[in-house]
Structures are given as C-alpha cells and as structure tokens.
C-alpha cells in the first residue's frame, strides 16, 4: 500500500484524499482485519471520478453504502 510508486505515502495531515477500491465483500473483510489493503485508485486534493457503468454499482463514502447510477463525482480540497 505505502510502497506504490505512483502515490505519495499517506498521512493524516497531508490534506490529500485517498481513493481506494475493493473487489468484493471478501476483500473488504480482509482490509478490515488488516490482511490486505484496498486497491489505490487516486490521491490528491482534487479528484474527479467518471462512472460509466451500465447499471448501478455499490459505493461507500464515510461508511454510508448505496447503489450509484452512472455519474461524475468531483471532490475538491476545500471540501476536505
């Protein structure tokens, strides 16, 4: 996780947003138990995600899960 050369090492105080993905419920359980890490997708103070899915996909933000239809998601540093 911290060894990925595409991303800076995450800290609590860097003002950067860490976007990670999971491959399924088993992967999520492994992350929560410390066996594995999430798949790092993005890091930054401004993150834009375009979801071009053909059907709603499960997403979770701050512990709140829902099914998300296709959309554009923009997160900016001032919102952190």
DSSP 33-74: TTS---EEEEEESEEEEEE--SS-EEEEETTEEEEE-SEEEE
Give per-residue pLDDT as tens, 27-76.
989 999 999 999 998 888 888 889 999 999 888 877 888 999 999 988 88
Tokens 């930054």: give the residue: 44
Tokens 């790092």: give the residue: 40
Give per-residue pLDDT as tens, 3-15.
567 888 888 888 8
- Report the distance separating Cα 78 and Cα 80, nearest Å: 6
């Amino acid at each position: 996780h911290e060894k990925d050369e595409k991303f800076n090492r995450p800290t609590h105080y860097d003002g950067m947003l860490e976007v990670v993905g999971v491959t399924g419920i088993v992967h999520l359980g492994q992350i929560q138990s410390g066996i594995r890490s999430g798949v790092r997708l993005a890091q930054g103070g401004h993150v834009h995600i375009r979801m071009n899915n053909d059907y709603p996909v499960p997403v979770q933000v701050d512990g709140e899960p829902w099914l998300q239809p296709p959309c554009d998601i923009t997160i900016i540093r001032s919102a952190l």
